[in-house]
Structure 1
Amino acid sequence: MVITGGGSGIGRATAHAFADAGEAVLIVGRSAEALAETARGRDHIHVLPLDITTPGAAAAVVETALRELGRIDVLVNNAGIARYADLPSLEREAVEAQIATNLVAPVFLTQRALDALTDTKGVVVNLSSSGSVGLRTMPGNAVYCATKVALDALTRNWSVELASRGIRVVAVAPGVVDTGVALRAGMPEAEYDAFLKRISAQIPSGRVGTPEDIAWWIVTVTAAPSGYLNGALLPVDGALSLT
């Protein structure tokens, strides 16, 4: 199992879920300290501090996974960043950083892992967003949303392209999940707390999600009994995308 963005949030919860089921996992992320915290107390978790947008990163991830784990059964393209700004406020650096992390890196990491995934008849899980489903909008977060729409298109196309290799490709699309990503993107804590309270009232299920909610689905769609699930986009959002 390879999970990008394994130092926090959904990536950390997913690494824990796989490791607790006895699976060997390689987690990749920019912060060595955060990765070490994810791996603490779990011998099945291996760490690779690395910025996946840098040249040679995809090769380094695959080579490390094959050396440490011996195989790649599952690739979870989870790493993602957001930079909140409306159109008049957009800066090129922030736009390019989101595209590089959320879209370009998954393309080339998946490409590099193809032979290993073919050998295992593996599964690629792309982390999308339920905000990209249908006609929903994300004002002030349009570039992030655009990268997720593009990732959905890759998911559908790759599921057909790679089926002959025995590789499945699925997208899990979380709704609002309390991972702290908005705080890391610069949102003040008081504003973040107010947002979670406000959005909870709009979600039919009455609450925001937890990283563990999403991790359960990632583990489930990669399991053998889910073998007929391919090319699907699964919103996990308490029905928010249906409102």
Structure 2
Amino acid sequence: MPATPHDQTFSGHVAIVTGAGSGIGRATAVAFAEAGAHVLGVGRRAEPLKETAAAHANIEFLATDVCADGAPVKVVGAAVERWGRLDHLVNNAGATAVMPMAETDKQTIVDLFALNVVAPSLLAREALPHLRRTSGTIVNLSSTYGHRPMAGGAHYAATKAAVEQMTRSWALELAADGVRVNAVAPGPTRTDVMLHAGLTPEAADDMYAYERDRIPTRRIAGAEEIAHWILRMADPAGRHATGQVITVDGGLELI
């Protein structure tokens, strides 16, 4: 659930949220802003980012491709220049791909790893000096398929498995610096990610219906529910939690 207007847990903090133009990224940017943070929403498309920024006065945006050369310097520099500090990096931008083994395509694999693994790594590297100064946090977005097999989506699952191992390894490496690193692994969540993966709206609805019937709680999560857990992992009150992957999937991984 989003923060209430009276919850100012992140007052004075600065957060970067990638993939902020829609879905979980937009919900996370709004939740941080409602909880008092200044937020830089990052994404490739300016128009959706403008809609995100219009949702709260504390949100500003930067339209850029996080995979582009120089993007980490540009993104982190923009936040620090605006507000003088950086407390939280949310690596939410990502892509999925439905690609059975028989249809394996080299460029699709390269693009998946570039966005889901390489880009967050380079953003984290650029953010690190600032996060050390604020005892800040990194929250990575994984998926239930980061630790469960996905028939027809092996390479997407592999990128998320990499994200989970990066999370644990960075947490161990940075603990002495006071920087916490955690991940949130959503289950099926109603966003436009399936449409970007090439599914038609009808096919996406069919997939959501199939997943809903498999989830023990019998429901698909909303983006705001995932944003709630992202903020909880960044919350200063949780300063003893690091290296954790929090699965939010209605119990799907239990079956």
Same fold (TM over 0.5): yes
Contact 1:5–1:29 (Cα < 8 Å) also in 2: yes
Structure 2 counterpart of 1:90, from 70, 82, 104? 104
Matched, 1:31 2:34: no
User: TM-score, normalization: structure 2?
Assistant: 0.93
Aligned to 1:17: 31
**Structure 1 residues 41 and 195 mapped into 2: Cα distance closer, same or farther (>3 Å)?**
closer
Contact 2:146 2:159 (C-alpha < 8 Å) held by counterparts = no
Task: Give the aligned residue type for 2:155.
Answer: V
Structure 2 CA distance, aligned partners of 1:188 and 1:221?
Answer: 34
The answer to whether structure 1 residue 162 and structure 2 residue 171 are counterparts is: no
Deviates more, 1:109-118 or 1:90-99: 90-99
Give, in whole Å, the separation in 2 of the partners of 1:195 and 1:20.
Answer: 32
Following TM superposition, by how much is the alpha carbon of 1:168 offset from its aligned partner in structure 2, in angstroms? 0.2
SS in 2 for 1:27: strand
Aligned pairs, how many?
241
In structure 2, runs of 5+ residues without a counterpart are 1-14
2:143 and 2:157 map into 1 onto residues whose CA distance is 8
**Which runs of no fewer than 5 residues in structure 1 stay unpaired?**
none
**Stretches of 4+ aligned residues off by more than 3 angstroms:** none
Distance 1:94 1:130 in 2: 21
Equivalent runs, 1:32-51 vs 2, <5 Å: 32-51=46-65
Task: State whether structure 2 residue 222 is matched by structure 1 residue 199.
Answer: no
Alpha carbons 1:25, 1:69 under 8 Å: kept: no
**Correspondence for 1:7:** 21
Deviation at 1:41, TM superposition (A): 3.9
Which of the numbers 94, 109, 117 marks the counterpart of 1:103?
117
| Structure 2 letter corresponding to 1:137 | P
Indicate the SS of the match to 1:138. Answer: coil
How far apart, CA to CA, are the structure 2 residues paired with 1:142 and 1:7? 26
Structure 1 position 74, deviation (Å): 0.4
Question: Could you list the per-position Cα deviations for residues 219-239 of structure 1 after superposition, in whole angstroms to 9, with x for gaps in the alignment?
Answer: 111111111110001000001
- Secondary structure of the residue aligned to 2:68 is coil
- Residue 177 of structure 1 deviates from its aligned partner by 0.5
Q: Which residue of 2 aligns with 1:215?
A: 227
Identity of aligned residues (%): 43
Is contact 2:30–2:55 with CA below 8 Å preserved after alignment? no
Comparing 111-120 and 182-191, the one that deviates more: 182-191
Q: Distance in 2 between matches of 1:19 and 1:68?
A: 15
* Amino acid across the alignment from 2:208: L
**Paired position in structure 2 for 1:139:** 151
Partner of 2:12 in structure 1? none
RMSD: 0.9
2:251 corresponding residue in structure 1: 239
Structure 1 letter corresponding to 2:150: M
Amino acid at match of 1:67: E
Per the normalisation by structure 1, the TM-score is 0.97
Residue 69 of structure 1 deviates from its aligned partner by: 2.2
Q: In the aligned structure 2, how far is the partner of 1:51 from the partner of 1:185?
A: 17
Between the aligned partners of 2:83 and 2:163, the Cα distance in structure 1 is 27
Specify the alignment match of 2:82 in structure 1: 68
**Which of 61, 70, 77 is equivalent to 2:91?**
77
